[in-house]
Amino acid sequence: MAASGLMQDDEDGDEVRPHVEVDATGDAPHAAEAGPPGATAAVSAASPPPADAPKRGRMSSILQQKQLVQTLSSGLKRNRDYVKISVAEERAERLPKEWWKTGVAFLYAVFNLVFTTVVITVVHERVPDKSVSPPLPDKFFDYVGRVPWAFTVTEVNGLILMGLWLIQWLLLKHKAIVGRRCFFLIGTLYMYRCVTMYITTLPVPGRHMVCAPKLYNDSSGKIWRIVRLISGGGLSLTGSHMMCGDFMYSGHTVMLTLAYLFIKEYSPRWMCWYQWICWTLSASGVVCILVGHEHYSIDVLVAYFVTTRLFWWYHSVAQAHALRRRAPDDYLSRTWWNPVFNFLERNVQSTVPLVFWWPPPLPSSCRQRYRIVEGGRDD
Is residue 123 a contact partner of residue 197, using CB atoms and an 8 Å limit? Answer: yes
In angstroms, the Cα distances linking 174 to 20, 98, 195, 251, 348 are: 54, 10, 33, 28, 11
The active-site residue, picked from 299, 315, 329, 378, is 299
- 19 assigned to active site: no
Instruction: List all residues 6 or more positions away from 24 whose beta carbon is below 8 Å from its beta carbon.
Output: 41, 44
- 315 assigned to active site: no
Residue 282 to residue 280: CA distance in whole angstroms:
5
- Give residue 153's identity as a one-letter amino acid code: V
Query: Bridge-partner residues for 7, per DSSP?
Result: 18
> Which is it for the CA torsion 218, 220, 224, 227, positive or negative?
positive
Residue 167 to residue 161: CA distance in whole angstroms:
10
The active-site residue, picked from 218, 295, 330, 378, is 295
The active-site residue, picked from 30, 124, 174, 252, is 252
DSSP structure string for 231-276: HTTT-TTTT--------SS-HHHHHHHHHHHHHHHTS-GGGHHHHH
HSE on the CB side for 154, CA within 13 Å?
26
Q: What share of the chain is helix, strand, coil (3-state, %, to 5)?
A: 65, 5, 35
143 preceded by cis ω (within 30°)? no
Residue 344 to residue 104: CA distance in whole angstroms:
9
Q: Alpha-carbon dihedral of residues 243, 248, 251, 254, nearest 10 degrees?
A: 170
Question: 182, exposed or middle or buried, with CB in 10 Å at 0-12, 13-18, 19+?
Answer: buried
- 295 assigned to active site: yes
Query: Bridge-partner residues for 165, per DSSP?
Result: none
96 preceded by cis ω (within 30°)? no
Give which of 155, 182, 35 is closest to 101, Cα–Cα. 182
The residues assigned a catalytic role are 252, 295, 299
